[in-house]
Amino acid sequence: MFNQEKYIKEIEHIFKQFPSYQQVGSIAYKEGLETMKEFDTVLGHPHRKFPVIHIAGTNGKGSVSHMLASVFMKFGLKTALYTSPHLLDFRERIKVDGKMISKEDVYEFLTMHKSLMNDIKPSFFEITTALAFDYFAKQKVDIAVIETGLGGRLDSTNIVSPWLSIITNIGLDHCEQLGSTITAIALEKGGIIKDNVPVVIGEHNVTTKDIFEKFAAERGSKILFSKLYRFKDIKLSDYELDLKGDYQVNNLRTTLTALYVLSQNQSFLSLVGKGWSDYNIKEGLKTAAASTGLRGRWETLNKRPLVICDTGHNVHGLTVVFSQLRKQSYSRLFSIIGFVADKDIEKILGLLPVSSYFYFTQAQIPRALDAKLLAKRCNSVGLQGEVAISVVEAIKKFKSVCKEDDLLFIGGSTFIVAEAIEFFEKNENFFAK
């Protein structure tokens, strides 16, 4: 019988001994593939037992990963999905056909390889990557969609030999690890391009286009820029998506281009068989969030008053999010925002809507930027608001003054969104009380 207490104890041990980048930031970042390769060798190279679609990018890789996984499921394929970060439970990172890995499987893996982990000291991300690959192999999946964690070239997932590589876009984020220029970051992300493996580029500019074309030429890889290809004029209105947000047009275009490339792969077509159809593609895209459990992408948490959250957390992502926010209809705009301490908020301040009243807050993690410091910096550029010591307090403050036609936006970091989702799941009728 499964022992919940032992499971919790083991998970707490892992988080304590091998802290995640998500929780503590750059001190958890481990450069290089040596440890991952050693772990993988002990496991018997499980990632070689199933075909892989490998996805990197500053923004959008999560949405593209879930769109593809949903379509593959509609094709009838037993589909694995490995993504990060998680919102509420780290098991969200590892799914087969939209279902999280079981606690039993997690516990078995961690206890079986505990001595090895204490010996080689992998990072938290290396542990979850090894766990995912091992689990997918044991589940005998037909195909796996694997998202990089941070970067590409030295990312733990980059031991795979994929059928297709995808780079969604390049923006300035995680500069401490990846470099402070678009060129440097593109060189890191481009490291997932493999010899003779086609690559799809979601968004590009002159600089990144040159870098990716050079990578592809050196490695004999066919390269397709989705903004220049057959789906370049695609509109969100052409497809019914349950993933909302104006920015999804780029992810839709990238996904459709990726599917086109796969349609030229005979091994893939043999795997899919009669499951390939335009209908299944549209149905997969229509139910991407529902079938894979993706949360926090322009997600509505309440309707009256309207409460929207989004996990956009860097300049590239927040530019699009706040642009869409300004297009919404409302009587008054309120925003609950918080960031991690290592985020360069100076570049973000100019994006925040001056028409909003803000609740400056912080997530309940060590990495969180102090809410008072955030408020002071935002006040200095003319943004109006007040401090709330937690996301829950901020939501309660909003409730005390809101009207039905107001709009509340919640975001700034994944952690802020996660705490908001958790609150509304536990308090479904909060605004009706």
The answer to whether residues 28 and 79 belong to one domain is yes
Q: 175 or 338, which is more confident?
A: 338
For residue 30, pLDDT over 60 is answered with: no
The answer to whether residues 342 and 264 belong to one domain is no
Average pLDDT over residues 138-159: 93
pLDDT-wise least confident of 121-125, 393-397, 406-410: 121-125
Rg, C-alpha atoms of the chain: 21
The answer to whether residues 45 and 119 belong to one domain is yes
The answer to whether residues 189 and 317 belong to one domain is no
What confidence tier does 55 reach under pLDDT thresholds 50, 70, 90? Answer: very high
What confidence tier does 175 reach under pLDDT thresholds 50, 70, 90? Answer: very low
Q: Domain boundary residue among 292, 315, 332?
A: 292
CA distances from 13 to 117, 290, 325 (A): 12, 32, 41
What confidence tier does 176 reach under pLDDT thresholds 50, 70, 90? Answer: very low
CA distance 326 to 214: 39
The answer to whether residues 288 and 306 belong to one domain is no
Q: Among candidates 218, 194, 214, 217, which has minimal Cα distance to 204?
A: 214
The answer to whether residues 260 and 401 belong to one domain is no
The answer to whether residues 166 and 310 belong to one domain is no
Average pLDDT over residues 304-333: 92
CA distances from 92 to 82, 98, 148 (A): 8, 9, 15
pLDDT-wise least confident of 74-83, 89-98, 342-351: 342-351
The answer to whether residues 158 and 257 belong to one domain is yes
Q: Domain boundary residue among 270, 292, 314?
A: 292
CA distance 298 to 292: 16
Would you tell me how many other CB atoms lie within 10 Å of the CB of residue 360?
Answer: 27
At residue 277, the pLDDT reads: 96
Q: Are 88 and 421 in contact (CB under 8 A)?
A: yes
The answer to whether residues 159 and 255 belong to one domain is yes
Q: What is the pLDDT of residues 253-280, one digit of tens each?
A: 999 999 999 999 999 999 999 999 999 9
Strand order in the sheet with 79-82: 99-100, 94-96, 79-82, 143-147, 52-56, 164-167, 199-201, 223-225
The single residue listed with the structure tokens 């919640």 is 410
What confidence tier does 20 reach under pLDDT thresholds 50, 70, 90? Answer: low
Q: What is the CATH number of the domain that holds 235?
A: 3.40.1190.10
**DSSP helix, strand, coil percent of the chain (3-state; round to 5):** 50, 15, 35
The answer to whether residues 126 and 236 belong to one domain is yes
CA distance 19 to 22: 8
Q: What are phi and psi of 226, to 5 degrees?
A: -65, -25
The answer to whether residues 214 and 145 belong to one domain is yes
Q: What is the CATH number of the domain that holds 347?
A: 3.90.190.20
CA distance 215 to 221: 8
Would you tell me how many other CB atoms lie within 10 Å of the CB of residue 337?
Answer: 27
The answer to whether residues 287 and 355 belong to one domain is no
Domain residues for 146? 4-292
Q: Domain boundary residue among 292, 321, 337?
A: 292
Mean pLDDT of the chain: 92
At residue 85, the pLDDT reads: 87
- pTM over 0.85, yes/no: yes
What confidence tier does 342 reach under pLDDT thresholds 50, 70, 90? Answer: confident
For residue 28, pLDDT over 50 is answered with: no
Give the number of domains in the chain. 2
